Amino acid sequence: MSDKPIKVVFSGMQPTSGVTLGNYLGAMRNFVKLQHEAQCFFCVVDLHALTIPQDPVQLRKNTLDMARLYVAAGIDPNVATIFVQSHVSAHAEMGWLMEVSCYYGELQRMTQFKEKAARAEVVTTGLFTYPALMAADILLYDTTHVPVGDDQKQHLELARDIAVRLNHRFGREVVVVPEPYIPPREAGGRIMSLQNPTQKMSKSDPDESATIHMLDTPDAIRKKIRRAVTDSENEVRYDPEKKPGISNLMVILSLCTGMSLDEIAGRYT
């Protein structure tokens, strides 16, 4: 990340019923502090959700739930801007301008498209051009910084490439070239699957017990934690390589309570 001052932040989340604990701890929790340090736009990106078939009634419900989750996570709508992507037509309009400003080969190289296309029964054009619309979302607001995870870094690089290309084409800065915002890593960083702790926790995991969803009931969360993969040793210590399951649970507890990893190890060993 560069030393460019953080002035404008844009982040979007798709309206799914599966927003996870990892999404909250890795992203949304950081937004609460960030909203007081910059002009922040937090978007429910419902147009992106249309890359796969959607039930209109369920999509509307998920969209409203996602907006509520932003507020429930601590984002103040009087401080930051929370909005629905499809309610601002400029996103679709800017999306077309981005499509004609990037190249087939650039989109073809997107690893996330390759992975999703390999799993999908039907591959839509929208799934292929998804990164162009994402670039539009970002560049539309003169965004200086974008919170990104590992799976979105390539998409942000494309947005940066398009921004540089447009500025060069017109001989002046017509769009701001955004920088990645990488929050300080705490207690090990990523939240991993409860059933396969060497992989990132994912809302698309077919094993429902592997993922804690933000809208899970307390009883459901307790059951998932109790069934989480650990190991056969009695010692509780943070060692992601040799004890990935225990280490993952320690990270979750640390981030949720503020206890250090050493405190957790001492308490439960």
Q: How far is CA 155 from the centre of its chain?
A: 12
Which of 33, 200, 223, 242 is the catalytic position?
200
pLDDT digits 0-9 by tens, 206-248: 899 999 999 899 999 999 999 999 998 989 999 999 999 999 9
CA distance 186 to 258: 10
Residue 16 lies in a domain: yes
67 and 167 in a single domain? The answer is yes
**121 CB neighbour count, 10 Å cutoff:** 6
Q: In the chain, what percentage of residues exceed pLDDT 70?
A: 96
Look at the alpha carbons of 64, 66, 72, 74 in this order and tell me if their dihedral is positive or negative: negative
Which of 7, 116, 223, 242 is the catalytic position?
116
What per-residue confidence (pLDDT) applies to 186? 59
Give how many domains the chain has, as a whole number.
2
What per-residue confidence (pLDDT) applies to 124? 86
116 as an active site residue: the answer is yes
87 and 47 in a single domain? The answer is yes
* Residue 114, domain CATH: 3.40.50.620
177 and 231 in a single domain? The answer is no
Which of 4, 61, 203, 224 is the catalytic position?
203
114 as an active site residue: the answer is no
Given 181, 197, 227, the domain boundary residue is 181
pLDDT digits 0-9 by tens, 162-186: 999 999 999 999 999 999 998 766 5
CB 60 within 8 A of CB 15: no
125 and 63 in a single domain? The answer is yes
Residue of 164, 141, 161 whose CA lies nearest to 153: 161
DSSP class of residue 12 equals E
203 as an active site residue: the answer is yes
pTM greater than 0.75 (yes/no): yes
Work out the average pLDDT over 129-156.
92
Q: In terms of residue numbers, what domain contains 217?
A: 208-268
90 and 174 in a single domain? The answer is yes
